[in-house]
Every structure is written in structure tokens, then in C-alpha cells.
A and B are shown apart, each in its own frame.
Chain A
């Protein structure tokens, strides 16, 4: 069956992730053309519904949709009828009635994209948008662009793409498909507790065969790690020295409603990727960050700008990967997923 939504990166499974990465390769090529646009999603309408601040994810999704020749409508929570008391459900159904084929949803509460998907399915495709992927009677698709501390699937996909293709480019070897990260040690460092990126990446990295180590102060780990396919360490120096990828997370101060850290300076000294600590990195190691970067806190500015860092590559790959996801859900009509 063709999945209608992308709510969790776990929905895709190994073969689904591999298919997204394979399609992303073709869209990277499209991005290099004099006219970086294909007519694949002509006539489709994609609504970006962001109820929480975002720069790169929203612009990246919108660029991806435009490069696929879809029409893009942008909805921002702060300047909408939500302020007049309209419920989220009515807002979504109103947008669907205008002919939306897909909703790209970001919300500060976990589970909102799934809730929106549920509303759209029970509405039975009331909008005239027609079936995504040719399914009769189906309504619009929902793509999770980050929900609370739950998941951020497209970030995980672009991270997998970046690691796999960047190692291929730098080391000149082609990883085994579909498990393109097999044998790699990946450290995720920082505010795991509040991070949807960490949750999606733990799923995606381990699905693709990598060994994941979480490094964080105990206060910034989730209350329970039961069922997570990860190791935990508090010794960042040892982990940095043996990791193929060091993935840094931003301290999400906006979600910290209590005291999690003694001080930012102590955090940087104990868990930040300082210039001294970066010297422990292996010769082929990659340093990644989902952005926005807080220079001088989780990563030193000179490390972020050095060749080991692929932070801007991640952003560049984001457009191609989101094109792949949009095309897979809205255009391909192809079966994907676990």
C-alpha cells in the first residue's frame, strides 16, 4: 500500500528510508540544473502549517514543493483565525476544503500531525483535492515537520542522506544498500530530552545499521530510555574519539521550564564540542547539527566552520530530501514503507 502520511520516520522502515535516499539523489541532480524545477507535482497544492517558529524547515519544504511545481500556501498560526477562537480542527478542514493535497505540519505539541491526519481521514476527503497516490476517496496527506519533543522525520532522513553521501564523497566508497550506515558509530550529544530530532534520528540511524550513543547530562536525558536502541555515556571525550559522526543538539531553552543545568558555561565545558575536544575527532569523522546553531555553547564557532562540519551540507540536502518525500507521498503512486 501507499502510505498517505509521514508522521514518524519509523513508518518508512529500512526499504522506505532507502527509497527516499535514492530519490533524493535524483533531486540533488535536479538542483544542479540551470532550471532546478521539474513538473512532477503540477496541480497539487501543499499547505505549510507552522504553529511554531521555524526558518529552515518551512523554507526548505516550500522550496522543495516549488521545485516540484506544486502550488504552496503558507499558513502561520500567529496571524490566523486561531486568534479569533477557531479550533485547530476547523482550521485544517477549512484548508482542506480549499483543495489542499498535503499539509506540512509543525506544532509545539507532540501528536498534532497524527491528530490532523486522523481528522482528514475521518472527513473522508471532503475537500475536492482528490486522492493522493490515486487512492479513491482519500483526502490530503500529512507530513510531520516537527511535533513537540516527539519526531522530526524529514530531519532524520536528510541527516541519513548527508552521512551516507558525504562519507561516500570523502572516502570514495559506496556503502551497502539499503543499510547505508551499517557499522558506523554515531554519537548524539546534548539536549536529548527535549529533542524530536534525537528521537527521529535514533530510529533512522539504528534502522540503517548504525550504533547510536547518547551523550548528555542525566537531567537532559529522557525520563526513560526503555526500548531505545542506544548506549548512553557521560564521557564525551571517549565518545568523540571513537565516533564516525558527532551529532550535536541545541539546548532548547524555550522548552526548559525548570533548572536542568548549573550554567551554560559548565555545559559547554562538560558537553560542548570545543576546539580542544574537536582535536580528538578521527580523520574521517563528521560533525553535524540540525540548526539553529548556538555558537560557543554546544559547538565552538571554529569547529562549526571547519571541514569536519557538514552543517550547511545538511541544509542543502534538506531540499532534495523533502522533494523526495513529497514526490513519494503525492506523486509516485509507489508502495513504500515497512
Chain B
């Protein structure tokens, strides 16, 4: 889950060590472009659309999708950011703190909400997001767009739009940013010589 996972998995410290570049910046850009078109196709235009990014990793994806939608359909789609910390089911099991206040700029009643996130993993974050949305209004429909679906679902949740399906092992980590998608592991910071190497991908493109 990229940014979120990095802060959650290893409270004692530890760094992400990339092993393989799965998508480069150009791949991410193309996937964003395709997903935006799929959203427009599926919903027959941008009317009633609201793009809601999940804090933190989904926020840039929501605004990147909105940029494409604006370029393609000359429509300004409202973009929001949702922090689901208070809806998580692991409060009390590990530290849970919100990163930023939720910002939903429009009334969600009757809107088609596209939740945007970087990585879909267990589905628990999306479950929390669905509950949060229902406290914010009653959308006509909720859809899910993710850059990477890495499997290992623990809840009956599936994405509507996927940048890339990426088979992973449970303990692996996926780092998603506009610069690309990197598969790797969290390692104790002591295992690394220089921290500067930490996020430098070592493997070759898959």
C-alpha cells in the first residue's frame, strides 16, 4: 500500500528496499490515462462524478485522474481526500492516527464516487472507506480505482479499474508513486549500509 504501508508495517523503524521495477513513470502515466478513459466510458461521461483519494497514497491518483478527465472531456470533476483512520478495524491492535483531515468539497448525495487508492491488498481500507462515505452522504454509486491490485483479499471487495494486477507474496511491499511501481521488502534499517540505497530498485523491470 505504498505510503500507508510503509508507515504502518514497521513502527520500530525499517526501510523499504526495492527489488524490481514493475512499472516506470511512463507506465504509470499510461495506466492513469487508460483508467480515466475507462471511468468516462463506464459512466458515460463525467457528470455526477466525484473522485475521492484515500489518504495518503490515493490522493495524487485522484488528482491525476481528474487532470486526464479535464483534458479529455473539458469537465472539472470534484476531487476529495478521505482519511479512514477512525473507521479502521485494527484500532487498538496497532497505532492508528489520521494523516490529514478529510476534505470532500461537494455533497455526495446522488454522486458517482470513484474511490482512488494506490494499492489494493486486504480490502480492509476500502471497507473502512465505504463506511466513512456512508456517514458523509448517500452516493448513487461507489466505484474503486487502484493503480495496483496485489491480491490477498480478506473481504469481498473487487476493484472496478486497475492499473496493474500484480501477484505478490504477503510479506512483500509495493511502493507506488508517480515515478513508478516498485516491488520490494521492508528490512530492518540495520541491514542496510547506506540509507540512500534503500529505495533504489536493484532488480530489472518485470
Interface residues of A, Cβ cutoff 8 Å to B: 23, 25-26, 28-30, 33-35, 37-41, 68, 133-134, 327, 331-335
A38 and B135: CB pair below 8 A? yes
A333 and B102: CB pair below 8 A? no
For window 88-106 of B, CB contacts with A under 8 Å fall at 91-98, 100-103
* Nearest CB on A from B132, distance (A): 8
B101 and A29: CB pair below 8 A? yes
Say if the beta carbon of B60 comes within 8 Å of chain A. no
Say if the beta carbon of B203 comes within 8 Å of chain A. no
A331 and B92: CB pair below 8 A? yes
Say if the beta carbon of B143 comes within 8 Å of chain A. no
Residues of A within 8 A of B102 (CB): 26, 29-30
Interface residues on B, range: 20 to 34
B96 and A134: CB pair below 8 A? no
Q: How far is the CA of A37 from the CA of B87 in the complex (A)?
A: 10
* Nearest CB on A from B40, distance (A): 29
Sample of 5 more A-B contacts, CB < 8 Å, known A38-B132, A39-B86, A134-B93: A26-B100, A68-B86, A331-B91, A333-B91, A333-B93
Q: How far is the CA of A332 from the CA of B101 in the complex (A)?
A: 16
For window 142-186 of B, CB contacts with A under 8 Å fall at none
Say if the beta carbon of B137 comes within 8 Å of chain A. yes
* Nearest CB on A from B27, distance (A): 34
Interface residues of B, Cβ cutoff 8 Å to A: 83, 85-87, 91-98, 100-103, 131-132, 135-137
Instruction: Name which residue of chain A comes closest to B128, CB basis.
Output: A39
B96 and A26: CB pair below 8 A? no
Q: How far is the CA of A39 from the CA of B130 in the complex (A)?
A: 13
Residues of A within 8 A of B95 (CB): 332-335
* Nearest CB on B from A320, distance (A): 11
22 A–B contacts from the bound complex (CB under 8 Å): A23-B97, A26-B86, A26-B100, A26-B101, A28-B101, A39-B86, A39-B131, A40-B85, A40-B86, A40-B87, A41-B91, A133-B92, A134-B93, A327-B86, A331-B91, A331-B96, A332-B91, A332-B95, A333-B91, A333-B95, A334-B96, A335-B95
B92 and A134: CB pair below 8 A? yes
Q: Which of A23, A35, A38 has the most CB of B within 10 A?
A: A38
A332 and B96: CB pair below 8 A? yes
* Nearest CB on A from B34, distance (A): 33
A33-B136, A38-B135 known; A333-B94 Cβ under 8 A: yes
Residues of B within 8 A of A332 (CB): 91, 95-97
Q: How far is the CA of A25 from the CA of B85 in the complex (A)?
A: 14
* Nearest CB on B from A28, distance (A): 7
Instruction: Name which residue of chain B comes closest to A19, CB basis.
Output: B97
B96 and A333: CB pair below 8 A? yes
Q: How far is the CA of A332 from the CA of B8 in the complex (A)?
A: 13
* Nearest CB on A from B111, distance (A): 14
Residues of B within 8 A of A39 (CB): 86-87, 131
4 closest cross-chain pairs (CB), A and B: A38-B86, A40-B86, A35-B135, A29-B101
Q: Which of B86, B93, B98, B136 has the most CB of A within 10 A?
A: B86
Q: How far is the CA of A333 from the CA of B88 in the complex (A)?
A: 13
Residues of B within 8 A of A29 (CB): 101-103
A23-B97, A26-B100, A29-B103 known; A333-B92 Cβ under 8 A: yes
Residues of A within 8 A of B103 (CB): 29
Q: How far is the CA of A134 from the CA of B136 in the complex (A)?
A: 30
A26 and B83: CB pair below 8 A? yes
Instruction: Name which residue of chain B comes closest to A2, CB basis.
Output: B95
A26-B83, A331-B92 known; A37-B101 Cβ under 8 A: no
Residues of A within 8 A of B136 (CB): 33-35
Residues of A within 8 A of B85 (CB): 26, 40
Instruction: Name which residue of chain A comes closest to B138, CB basis.
Output: A34
* Nearest CB on A from B163, distance (A): 29
Q: How far is the CA of A134 from the CA of B93 in the complex (A)?
A: 7
* Nearest CB on A from B105, distance (A): 12
Instruction: Name which residue of chain B comes closest to A336, CB basis.
Output: B97
A33-B135, A35-B135, A39-B87 known; A26-B98 Cβ under 8 A: yes
Instruction: Name which residue of chain A comes closest to B88, CB basis.
Output: A40
Instruction: Name which residue of chain A comes closest to B109, CB basis.
Output: A34
